[in-house]
Structure 1
Amino acid sequence: MTAGATAASRELATVELLDESDVVVLRQVGREAAEALGLERQDQVRLATALSEVGREVASGGRGRAVLAVTGGPVPELVVHLSGAPAPGTGRGEVTGVAAAQRLVDRVDLSVRADGDRLVVLRKALPEGRPVASQRLDAVRATLSRPRAADALAELRVQNTELVRALEALAAREQDLVRANEELEETNRGVLAMYTQLSDELEETNSGVVALYAELDERGRQLAAANDAKTRFLRSVSHELRAPVNSILGLASLLADGDLDAEQRVQVGYLDSSARSLLGMVNELLDLARAESGRQHVHRVRVDLAALLTDLAGTVRPLLRPGVDLHVDVPDGLDVHTDPELLDRVLRNLLTNAAKFTDTGALTVTVSVPADGVGVVVAVADTGLGIAPEHLDAVFEEFYQVPNRLQPSVKGTGLGLPYARRVAEALGGSLDVTSEVGRGSTFTLTLERTAVPTVGRVLVVDDDEASRTVVRGLLGGSAAEVVEARDGSEALTLLASDVPDVVLMDVRMPGLDGPATLREIRADDRWAALPVVLMSSLDGPPLDGVPFVGKSGLDATTLLRVLREATGRTAP
């Protein structure tokens, strides 16, 4: 056995493998080298076993060698090169011990040299992960270079000792595994019990939630049914009361025209004023029922806010108490697309309500456009009694009246503000209030400032329902309203009740077709100047000088362009 060094690695020892006894020496040297380089006992045994498995086969040909070295790379390794000639009758590349060695060390490489010798390289990484100092390598070489006898019996004892230790470690691990399995089973039982408990609780909770949702749905249906019943009741009662109240007013008028003394005239006057108050309440009930039912018809047109508020201010000023002023601040030329009649009702309600509860100061109407330009805000402020915080939400409830000790004679029905909020919502807006007792209230109406339609109100005349649906969709928000007729006769009936801005009419229809209907329209002075556009699946216009649009491939841009040209409107 010799020691030395090479350029690629630093050699520790060399063992000549001539017979079985040399394999015992190789095993001893490998174990000692592993121990000296700091490998754990288990890794020492693994390396020694791998060397004995491979070394026995390498030495079988009677000529072999094992060289132990340490590499000098970034990850130092203990490397053993075993080379030798194969035994007679053995394949050149057959080394069955390699398979066992591969399970014991980090890496095993097998190759055959040009002279026919086999070369097996075993590699095992050192634990420190850094190059081994030269002084330590010298000490390892000195340890490995001492003479040793190939005592197979002693080595067998060492192997038995190592085996006993391995069995003891295995038994300890088995006991640890048994304990771990028992603990895991116990944990699993606890988890299973907890999961079962949680599942039961969750199922019980889900059942409760389902029952709660079912109860809420039932309550919702009951409330909806009650609300519908209330609305029907209000509408029915309002209609039923209106006739007798009108009769009372008529009779009071007849009595006032008769021969009455002064006292009787006073009494008839009370009768007339009471009947008119009752009629006003009935009308408010009817309006509220209509708004709550969702059947409030909204007819949107272009509305000049400045003109609407100017007219409204003129009718409200006579209601103001002496010394109370009315100020209206609205930008000129501010138009909105909404229902003017419904908007007038909301604002009139707010102004008359403010006038009723304002003794001194002023009523101020301010119109503004938010910074984003999306909507319009109309604020009606007064310097009246104000509303306490606890009553702010209740003022929009039906029949609720804010307690008023300062003006006990001022009373109302409690329907005006609820109705105003319902109408504001029908217009696509909202109505809110802020107030301070003794300083006044401000009611804020917010409306969406939708684009004003560019083609006004369109009457579509076509016997094909699918075609009417397509046209209605193409007009979209560009028309203020789309009215439909199934033939020329129905179109003429609709014209007699409400004249649209333009008529879009199919050419081919049963009964009174498009050209015949057009002649009827032109023959009537009421509609002679009404713009009419014909449409058809034909290739060209059937009448000269009449605007025409083809149905084939019709799109919104083309349709709107033709309608604007016919009505003399320009694109926004």
Structure 2
Amino acid sequence: MALRLLTLRIDGELDVVASRQRARQIAGLCGFGAQDQTRIATSVSELARNVYNYAGRGRIEFSVEGVTTPQVLMISIEDQGPGIPHLDLVLSGRYQSSTGMGLGLIGARRLMDQCEIDTAPGKGTTILLKKLLPAGAPLITARMAGDFGAQLASGSQAGATLAELQQQNQELLSTLAELKARQDEMLQLTRELEDTNRGVVALYAELDEKADHLRRADEMKSRFLSNMSHEFRTPLSSIRALCKLLLDRVDGELTGEQEKQIQFILKGSESLSELVNDLLDLAKIEAGKIEVRPSRFDVAEMFSALRGMLRPLLVTETVRLVFDEPEGVGSIHTDEAKVSQILRNFISNALKFTETGEVRVSAAALPDEEAVRFTVRDTGLGIAPENHQVIFEEFSQVENRLQQRVKGTGLGLPLCRKLAHLLGGRIELESELGTGSAFSVVLPLRLQQDEPAWQALPSQAEDDGRLPLLIVEDNRQTSLMYEKYLEETEFRPVTVRSVWEAEQAWGTLSPAAVLLDIHLGSEDTWRWLNKLKMDPQRRQVPVIIATEVDDQHKGYTLGADAYFVKPLFREDLLGALRRLTGSESGEAPQQNVNDTMQSNRYDVKPS
């Protein structure tokens, strides 16, 4: 929705001066700083002068677009003159004119965020300038726009020429002084940088050398631990076996004190053996020596095996271990031993820290992700939210009143997380103090060993000749849905989760179109959309917005080619993509749609 602020007519030279003055005033009312006010005023003044020189008369209209921040200041300059011949040549800066024709247009394009020109011989020219309001600018409402218009319309133009000249002289003197100060600063900075550069080069060389030493030391540590499995475990096994022989009185009776001491030795060796096992498993994963052996197995059968294996851990009748029947899960294809290891660790921890109640193990299918979630829920002590990350750090434990009774290594949960990532899944935790905990592992129904489950940046190895579609979406389920939409179509999804990742991905591929969400975590993409449409090399790539923000006017103002309010359905997405890229007719991609499409779910920008 556009809020009109002021309309000016250009009939003489005084009107050109007045347009500059009004442009500066409007920029100030909209919250722009002094430099931006000067840029806007200069752009309007140059284009108004062109209207007066080449068309004789015209009009300028100031308005604000958008109902949410950041809003857009829009300035429309229209005339009914002869039009601009050789527009492309003029905008390229290669057009030679004795009257200076084209310099004002080039300057306005550089000073504003966007500049759209519509001209034809004998039909006049319309130029639309756009500039995003600053981040801290107030939201301009219809009432404020009316107050601005009344305030500007009531201003007298008497003495406008002299006042404007004085203002321009002050701006020029201020700019010259600022340029001189910056030049002096640049000279000083250049000298300092020359001195610093030599030190930085030496420092980088030293850091590279130290980083190489650390990398080699880390590799040697992991290799040493992964290769020392037999040497660590054999003596521990011998100690445990000898302790059991002594406790079984194979070599004769023991005194009470001797039995007590041997039990201490046995308990210590068992704790040390558990620590060594976890440590060696972590080292193997880091060294890349752990093997993944996927196979198809039945989840219910794995639960049955775990039930028999873990029943001896129930040392009290106040805690029940319950295995629910898997919901919608039959068999899956992954490494059964490692899934069992993760669940054993979850269940063991739950039994340790649950005094009364139950430990419940369940499995449920996740159709949207083609995955299964295994959950171990207990009624134990619970974990405070601020400690949810701490427990996944190696050798870290949370203090609690049961800690003296149930010792641990602090390596079990970090190992579970590494194993889950190795299997293409993730670990989830829900817990609060006093209400118990729910540890879950989400794993794909079929393990793809040659592809990671979720990459920070897209892999170009997947290029199959289809048109790449850059999907900027931070919600994993939504991005998976889009990827399902594009299966067996002419479009190949390339998914990223932030603007930074989108820029990195653009450096390695040329997308045929962009599917853009507005809110990505704590950032929004309005300014990135504006940046794309200002880039001469990327502005022709169609941008389709799919978001929960219902502000289509702002989206189209900033250059979006189609706008959808979630949920986005498959036929709507493919229809918009094929029209915008010309893939359904074999035509070259076009920037806008040639016919307006509207429904209750989406809106496509008309040309």
> Which category describes the TM-score, using the shorter chain as reference length?
0.3 to 0.5
Larger radius of gyration: 1
Query: Under a length normalisation based on structure 1, what TM-score does the superposition of the two structures give?
Result: 0.42
* Alignment TM-score, normalising by the size of structure 2: 0.40
